Amino acid sequence: MWCSDIPDTARPYVAQREGLPGGSNADLRSKLRRTTIHAVVLAGRWYVVRPRMTCQRGLFIATALLEIGAGVLTAVWPGRAIELLFGTAIVQAEPLATARLYGAALTALGVASWCVRAEPPGRAVRAMICGMLTYNVGACVLLPTIAMTSNLAGVLLWPAALLHAALTCWCVFVLGSQANLGTAEAEPRR
């Protein structure tokens, strides 16, 4: 019988029996909830389930690293970030302040992605991926549009547009795989 805190998606993972500390089942569940390791009860014995790298986890890690890097660069050196992306230097205070705010938003997206990287599929994770999908689609549309309509194209504009296109596809794939598993219905409505 599976523990109530083990998601259905954990079933394909390989369970390995390990020596677990003594104590009640509630103590053990409490200890396991504080880690990224889940446990399962089979025939009255506790087994530890170590989740392997999933497509969803990889998406969150990649997004976190990319967006935190881009966000910190944009927040700290907005003029250089804009020059790399659009090929033009900005010296006025207003666009620099806006770029710094954009850098903070990118950093926040990266931190949020890092925080949910180990979460099992569910409504909150699905909402996070939908938000990331919206951002990536917007970047896929806006970056090439800016390049073609205003001739602003720096060294990183087209690679950034392609990267956001790949992240868009990755988000769609993860959302599709979660829909196939039925994780949206796994959590009760409140």
Mean pLDDT of the chain: 77
pLDDT at 164: 96
Q: Are strands 38-42 and 15-16 parallel, antiparallel or unpaired?
A: unpaired
User: Does residue 1 fall inside a structural domain?
Assistant: no
Considering the domain architecture, whether residues 163 and 118 belong to the same structural domain is answered as yes
Distance CA 159, CA 179 (A): 30
pLDDT at 54: 77
Give Cα 167 distance to the centre of its chain: 10
pLDDT at 107: 96
DSSP string, 47-110: EEE-PPP-HHHHHHHHHHHHHHHHHHHHHH-HHHHHHHHHS----SHHHHHHHHHHHHHHHHHH
pLDDT at 121: 83
Considering the domain architecture, whether residues 137 and 45 belong to the same structural domain is answered as no
Structural domain tally of the chain? 2
Distance CA 49, CA 12 (A): 10
Stretch 148-172: mean pLDDT, rounded? 93
Considering the domain architecture, whether residues 120 and 33 belong to the same structural domain is answered as no
Q: What is the pTM of this model?
A: 0.67
How does residue 14 score in pLDDT terms, banded at 50, 70 and 90? Answer: very low
Stretch 107-114: mean pLDDT, rounded? 96
Share of the chain above pLDDT 70, in %: 66
Structural domain boundaries, residue 36? 8-49
Query: 11 near 2, Cβ under 8 Å?
Result: yes
